[in-house]
Amino acid sequence: MLISRVAKLGACLAKHLPTRNYAAMSRLPYIQRTTNHHMQPPLSFTKLYNGPMIKKHNLFSTVTANNTSEEGSEQKEAISVTFVDKDGEENHIKVPIGMSMLEAAHENDIELEGACEGSLACSTCHVIVMDVEYYNKLEDATDEENDMLDLAFGLSETSRLGCQVIAKPELDGIRLAIPAATRNFAVDGYVPKPH
Amino acid sequence: MQKMAIWKAKQWLSRSFSSMPSNPLRVCVVGSGPAGFYTAEKMLKVQQQAQVDIIDRLPTPFGLVRSGVAPDHPETKIVINQFSRVAQHERCSFFGTVTLGSSISLSELRELYHVVVLAYGAESDRSLGIPGENLKGIHSAREFVWWYNGHPDGRNLDPDLKSTDTAVILGQGNVALDVARILLRPTTELATTDIASHALSALEESSIRKVYLVGRRGPAQAACTAKELREILGLRNLDISIQEPDLILTPDVEEGLTSNRIQRRVYELLSKAATSRPKNDAGLSKRQLHFVFFRKPDSFIESKDRHGHASGVYFEKTVLKGVGPGKQIAIGTGEFEVINCGLVLKSIGYKSIPVDGLPFDHKKGIVPNDRGRVLSDTSGDSILEEGLYVCGWLKRGPTGIVATNLHCAEETVSSISEDLEKGVLSSSSPKPGRDGLLQLLNDRNVRVVSFSDWEKIDSEERKLGSSRNKPREKLATWDELQKYTL
């Protein structure tokens, strides 16, 4: 729990760092999470962020808060997201602004596959936005995302890839369903195509 | 050497004893491609008492992610990270250079393990069965893919790319698009991928400038996906040719497209490409890609100058015939046409090969199964083969993407769990599992490649690659692969 909280903080802070560091920083929690997912001994936090880095984080956290208030923005630093898993069970989590739903799911031990680790080369992090209003608040999917969605199981009118849905204030309260893949299994790719 | 193997075996054993329940469920997965690894992953998660061994005939894991996925698609290979974590799981082991059917028989494997899941895919090809198919210059796309991907069994293919300027690819699926792209892409762009060096050299000297992608049916039935199509349509220095009349749809086909998102988007991309004017940046080395629809291969033509070599393909024109809602087949019209070429790649589908003692449906090319449970024959009231399961291409035929296997594995693993709960499958009597397998292989002098041996190959390949500005330089012969695991 502590690890998850601190990691979340790390990712949140990362976006306030110069851009060139962003990718590297925000990547770490994800890698750590997926490792845990496979029941290996969890890497200690200090292995991922060395000592000085942690201190830096703590310093930065106050800076972050100040920055936000200085900008006079009422924006929240994290939004509420609900994941509804294959069995209909709900997971309520907080997602820092700027973080993808794929990363957020992995940080919170929510089972969302991510075969290509967010590089837009697979369809395994497919989620269904449960309310059309929220779906309409998202940027339109790019051709590349749509190409991948073509191959997603249980595709719906409000399907997106979790790696392409990035937390922003308007999405506070969004509900995302993880499709029950096996239900649709026989529909697609099952019968060998005649040539 | 043998001492070393025994020592390693003991290590595995002690490791497993320390973390295993006293009577684990012994599971063996045959094949370490996506179907095999996803099965192992789901199995480890769902059955906490399961000990999973993955065997493969190659010393290298990951199946088609390594030897099928095109070298210019590195993102698709990222899933190897996930599979590596599975292989390193404390209840999982990888044993390479173990061949089902020669190192060990299926019945022996079923004696050793409670559960055997066959996920060894499809390592052969469908054939056209038309005259001239054995002429030189005609290869299956699978062989060509293995060749450029450094599969040790593809090393000797040595396709002749220098005696002709034209290649015909039969089929319009994603594999067909992959091989077309490799033939047409500027080699400077391939040079920084993990393409096998022998293939890169051959492609650098290639004289092929014109590629025909030929399908029996029309642009609304093409088997490729939008991603692959978009990619090839956007290649640098390439002219695309599509006959506009081919794009005309019958009302029946048009109706079908509205409910098929993949085919609709593929059709739209092809239409757009057909109507957009070729870019006027033509250089002398400009290459051409021709999409040819409604042509069925009738026979291959032998060259007059080069005995035994193909010099072209004889095609029969076709029209569509509806055979059900949204389904059309190609029917020959009796009108013929020749495309001259010196290289033919048949991309008409892979084929699975059965092993001794395995029920097999030769017509469908799969193992008869009920949601992954192997059935003793294909008739209606067939009985279950206890403890024997299938996943991946062997289960459902050679279609789909890497992620298809995720759902396929979920289904097979849930069948196994159901069978355990119902008592159809019993794990109460202990089985030798890994211990017995290693003993038997040791008795037969089969040298097993472990996952840490693979890591030696992996690090050598990365090292070789980094000096050539490639992510890796694949060791592409059996000798080289064996050398680095010693």
pLDDT in tens, A138-152: 999 999 999 999 999
CA distance A151 to chain B (A): 8
CA separation, residue B140 to residues B195, B351, B452 (Å): 18, 11, 33
C-alpha angle B94-B99-B105 in degrees, rounded to nearest 5: 110
Give the residue on A whose Cα is nearest the Cα of B218: A195
Q: What confidence tens digit (pLDDT) does each residue in B248-270 have? A: 999 989 999 998 999 999 999 99
The beta-carbon neighbor of A115 closest among B44, B82, B173 is: B82
Q: Does B209 touch chain A (CB under 8 A)?
A: no
Looking at residue B427, its pLDDT comes to: 86
- With 0-12 / 13-18 / 19 or more C-beta atoms within 10 angstroms meaning exposed / middle / buried, residue B336 is middle
pLDDT value of position B327 = 87
Cβ distance of A181 and B404 shorter than 8 Å: no
Give the residue from chain A lying closest to B217, CA to CA: A195
Residue A129 near residue A178, CB atoms below 8 Å: no
* pLDDT of B380: 62
A-proximal residues of B, 392-411, CB under 8 Å: 396-404, 406-408, 410-411
Report the mean per-residue pLDDT for chain B. Answer: 93
Alpha-carbon gap, residue A160 to A123, rounded angstroms: 9
What is residue A185's predicted lDDT score, i.e. its pLDDT? 37
Q: What integer pLDDT is reported at residue A183 of this predicted model?
A: 41
Among B47, B407, B411, the residue to mutate for chain A (most A Cβ within 10 A): B407
Q: Do B79 and A115 touch (CB under 8 A)?
A: yes
pLDDT band at residue B420 using 50, 70 and 90 as cut-offs: very high
B86 CA: distance to closest CA in chain A (Å): 7
pLDDT above 70 for B145:
yes
3-state secondary structure of A46: helix
Mean pLDDT calculated for residue range A163-170: 97
Cβ pair A181:B261 closer than 8 A: no
**Residues of chain B found within 8 Å of residue A122, distances taken between Cβ atoms:** 76, 79, 401-403
pLDDT band at B286 (very low <50, low <70, confident <90, very high): confident
Contact between chains at A38 and B75 (C-beta distance less than 8 A): no
In three-state secondary structure terms, B54 is strand
Higher pLDDT, A59 or B275: B275
The model's pLDDT over A46-78, given as tens digits with 9 standing for 90+, comes to: 333 333 333 333 333 333 444 444 444 445 699
**H or E, element range at B343:** strand B343-346
pLDDT higher than threshold 50 for residue B195: yes
Q: How far apart are CA B9 and CA B435, in angstroms?
A: 8
Q: Mean pLDDT across the stretch B407-429?
A: 94
User: Which residues from B are below 8 Å from A185, CB to CB?
Assistant: 407-408, 411
- Looking at residues B445-470, what average pLDDT do you find? 96
Say if residues B389 and B363 touch (Cβ distance below 8 Å): no
Report d(CA B457, CA B463) in Å as an integer. Answer: 10
Contact B85 A35 (CB under 8 A): yes
Cβ–Cβ below 8 Å for A181 and B223: no
Q: Is B70 annotated as a binding residue?
A: no
B452/A contact by beta carbon, under 8 A: no
Q: How far is B358 from chain A (nearest CA, A)?
A: 20
- Judging by beta carbons within 10 Å of its beta carbon (0-12, 13-18, 19+), is residue B354 exposed, middle or buried? middle
Q: Is B349 on the interface with A (CB under 8 A)?
A: yes
Q: B87 Cβ partners below 8 Å, 6+ apart? A: B37, B54, B61, B93, B94, B451
What pLDDT was estimated at residue B382?
73
Q: CB distance from B84 to chain A under 8 Å? A: no
- Nearest CB to B403: which of A151, A155, A195? A151
CB-CB neighbors (< 8 A) of B230 in chain A: 143, 147
Cβ distance of A148 and B227 shorter than 8 Å = yes
How far apart are alpha carbons A134 and B104 in whole angstroms?
56
Of B402, B400, B372, the residue nearest B385 (C-alpha): B372
CB nearest to A189's CB, from B79, B81, B399 = B399
Give B48 to chain A, closest Cα distance, Å.
11
Total-model pTM: 0.84
Which single residue is written with the structure tokens 């029946």? B252
